[in-house]
Structure 1
Amino acid sequence: MKTSSPSTLITKLESRFVLIALFVGSMWAVFFLSVALPFLRLNEHGVVPRSLGGLQGILFAPWLHASVGHIAANTGGLIVLGWLCMWPHIAGFWRATIGAMLGAGLCAWLFGAPDSVHIGASGLVFGYAGYLVARGYYTRNLMSILVALVVVSSYGLSLLFGVLPIYPDVSWQSHLGGVLGGVLAARAGAGAPSRVRVR
């Protein structure tokens, strides 16, 4: 059984810290840019339902936020859940990110209200949570199961109410799509289920 040396562990921690800092920091940088240069109208580049040009928001929406409160509310979840998605491999973080972005963006584009604009990284937060819970189910790895239980106990109610159309001006479509995208990403990452032969 191989054990990681302290230097290897430190290297892993550093690389993950840098990645999450750059990832979330880039969102804050875009937010400050949108405040400093309002004439750029960056927030108009979110997901616009059933508009061909609105498809660009699938890529851009997570980096666009309406206010300091909006981006601050997403930052904690991005850091904590994003960090958990990086273990045991950073590939898990990218898998969850891509799945959540596609799921949140497409769901908002398909089911959002006409002429609305969907922005914000909450779809990613919901996607990371969906990924972590589903990963525990699909891999049946003890650590993954424990992480899934922690996510459910900490974010369960927020996940439940966040995917329901009960809050005005909240993109429940993005939340629902993010969860679905995260679950599908976890399923893809788990690979084909093992087959047990009974003789």
Structure 2
Amino acid sequence: MSQNHQHFRYSTGVIAYPVFFVLLIWIVFWMQVRFFPAIKNFGVYPQKLEGLSGIVFSPFIHADIQHLYHNSIPLFILSVALFYFYRKISWKVILYGILLSGLITWIIGRPSNHIGASGLVYVLVSFIFFKGVFAKHYRLIALSLMIIFLYGSMIWYVFPVKDGMSWEGHLGGLISGLLFAIIFRKSVAKPERYVWQQPDYNEDDDPFLKHFDEDGNFIENLEPEEILKDLSLEENKVKITYTFKEKKD
């Protein structure tokens, strides 16, 4: 498989998986509104055995179109960032994040029906931020700062500051993302090491530096015979032929 083909598949997956995930949530909402309104009741019910199933189903269920809209945009943006920078562990973060954040919600939540993908959104925000900090790599730190710039205000919603909002799910997502950033802290993107940064690098063996002398002047390492051949008038001679056709009256 060529390198270009691999890069194309990688780039396609970065966009395709988040699109598929968000589209699935919208399809479930369409089915909920059109055919099965009772889907809304399959959320997380804390401290109840029947509410455990909501750990899996709740991220795909939303109260209304506004609720769905507010979760879809950050979920798509954060998923793209996750698949681009952390492709090898992206599915683990998403699947385990759904389960762990839902379980925390089930344990600490109020007696209510907790639904929505906001818990997963908090998982992604928390993971991407802390993972960049732990990595100590400028690209990932820049990503962390961008996440704070875009979604830093979300931190207030892990507290009970708004009625009718599952702050427990947000808190569960925040804790889950932090835990995954610690667990997967060894899976960090390492900076590229150029040839001259390698411990065993030798300037005399560098094919590029052989084109320069000690003073940094460019030289051409061709044999004298080859140089003369290239400069030969016979070899570089251009022959131009003019054809004249007499015009007849």
Verify same fold: TM over 0.5.
yes
Matches within 5 A, 1:149-168: 149-158=145-154, 160-168=155-163
**Correspondences of 1:84-95 after superposition (within 5 Å):** 84-95=81-92
Report the equivalent of 2:9: 11
Q: Write 1 or 2 for the structure with the bigger share of helix.
A: 1
Aligned residues of 2:78 and 2:124 also touching (Cα < 8 A) = yes
> Distance in 2 between the 1:123 and 1:76 partners?
14
Distance in 2, Cα, partners of 1:142 & 1:8: 25
Q: TM-score, normalised by structure 2?
A: 0.70
Matched, 1:96 2:93: yes
Deviations 1:13-48 (A, max 9, x none): 112222111111111110000001135x11111100
Once the two structures are superposed, residues 36-62 of structure 1 have per-residue CA deviations (whole angstroms, 9 ceiling, x without a partner) of: 1135x1111110010011011111100
Q: Which residue of 1 aligns with 2:244?
A: none
Structure 2: distance between partners of 1:38 and 1:102: 24
Q: RMSD of the TM alignment (CA)?
A: 1.9
Q: Which has the higher contact order (CA 8 A, sep 6+)?
A: 1
Where do 1:47-196 residues align within 5 Å?
A: 47-114=44-111, 116-158=112-154, 160-191=155-186
Separation in 2, partners of 1:58, 1:183: 19
User: d(CA) in 2 for partners of 1:32 and 1:87?
Assistant: 29
TM-score (norm 1): 0.87
Deviation at 1:133, TM superposition (A): 0.6
Q: CA deviation at 1:10?
A: 2.5
TM-superposed deviation, 1:102: 2.5
Task: Answer whether contact 1:103 1:174 (CA < 8 A) is retained.
Answer: no
Q: SS of 1:86's equivalent?
A: helix
Deviates more, 1:6-15 or 1:105-114: 6-15
Deviation at 1:8, TM superposition (A): 3.3
- From the superposition, tell whether residues 35 and 90 of structure 1 become closer, same or farther in structure 2 (CA, over 3 Å): same
Q: Distance in 2 between matches of 1:103 and 1:173?
A: 12
Ranges in structure 1 where 5+ consecutive residues have no aligned partner: 194-199
What percentage of residue pairs aligned between the two structures are identical? 29
Aligned residues: 187
The offset of 1:64, in angstroms, is 0.4
